[in-house]
Structure 1
Amino acid sequence: MAYYIWIIINALLVISTIIYIWIFRLHDSQIITLGQVFAQIAIILFIINVNMYFIFLVIRRTKVRKFKITLAKMSRQMMKSHIKLAIIGTILILFHGGIMLVKLGELIGYVNPKIMSGMLAILLLAITLFAGYLRHKKSSGFRRKFHYTSAFLFTILFMVHLFLPI
């Protein structure tokens, strides 16, 4: 039952970001709109990757064996694309950040909270990628916790960044 709630939360998150970006954050500049497209795609990719943690959490906590097996099979398939999705999402975020820094930064100022939170989010993303690289090379309890803690901090900060007004 809890996984239905989690699916609904994810769907609402994606829908709310789409509404916020495409209805409340319209711009006259086509290049800024392209930056928004990059960000929207990256958000979806990062949400997919963050959900890996919750899938593993449900696998550990559920008592229903058949459900555990189904989730384990699904997680094996998802893990094959985890790194690829992270890399694609990072490239999109770097394009988004570059566009917004150059085009929007000159309009609203480089010390605007939106710009500053975006730069901090990219820094946290770099830490998350580094933690993921360490975990990929040699997995340990510390490296696993470091990776998912940095990933959650990044997720929280990019959500704050997303909904900050300009």
Structure 2
Amino acid sequence: MPHRLWIALNSILIVLSVIYIWFFRPHDSSLVITAQFLSQMAMILFLVNINMYFVFLVIRKSSVRQVKIRLAKFSRVMMKWHIPIAITATTIIAGHAAINLYEIAPVIGYSNLKLVSGYLAMAVLSLTLAAGYLRHKKSSGFRRKFHLITAMAFFLVFFIHMFIPI
């Protein structure tokens, strides 16, 4: 049952971001529209990766054996894609940032709260990627927790950044 709630929350987040970006933040510039589209794609990819934590949580906490088996098989497949998804999403978000720094920043100022939150999100994302790289090279309990904490911090900062108006 909790997994249905989590799927619903993810779906609601995606729908809210689509509504917010495309209906409340429309732009005339094709470059800015491209940046908005890139942010949507990256958000979905980051959500896929962040949700791996919750898949593992359900595996640990569930008392239903069939659920554990099904999720374990699913997680084996998904973990092979975790790093490529992270690299792809980071590349996409870098394109989003570059377009916005070129097109929007000169208009609203480089110290605008929206941009500052984007800088913070990129810094926390860099920390998350570094933690993930270290974990990939040599896994330990500390490295696993550090990667998890930085990933959740990134999600929080990115979520705040997404809904800060320009």
TM-score range, shorter chain: over 0.9
Tell me how far 1:101 sits from its aligned partner: 1.1
Give the Cα separation in 2 of the matches to 1:25 and 1:159.
Answer: 16
Q: Which residue of 2 aligns with 1:162?
A: 162
The alignment partner of 2:63 has SS state of coil
Gaps of 5+ in 1: none
Q: Which residue of 1 aligns with 2:25?
A: 25
1:85-131: CA deviation from partner (whole Å, max 9, x where unpaired): 00000000001001111110011111000000001100100000000
Identity %: 52
Q: CA RMSD in A?
A: 0.5
Query: Number of matched residues?
Result: 166
Give the Cα separation in 1 of the matches to 2:87 and 2:12.
Answer: 25
Query: Normalising by the residue count of structure 2, what TM-score does the alignment of the two structures yield?
Result: 0.99
Q: Which residue of 2 aligns with 1:145?
A: 145
Give the Cα separation in 1 of the matches to 2:35 and 2:13.
Answer: 19
Residue 50 of structure 1 pairs with residue 50 of structure 2: yes
Gaps of 5+ in 2: none
1:12-65: CA deviation from partner (whole Å, max 9, x where unpaired): 011111111111111111001101111100000000000000000000000111
Q: Which residue of 2 aligns with 1:77?
A: 77
Which consecutive aligned stretches of 4+ in structure 1 deviate over 2 angstroms post-superposition? none
Q: Which residue of 2 aligns with 1:108?
A: 108
Q: Which residue of 1 aligns with 2:135?
A: 135
Q: Which residue of 2 aligns with 1:67?
A: 67
Query: Normalising by the residue count of structure 1, what TM-score does the alignment of the two structures yield?
Result: 0.99
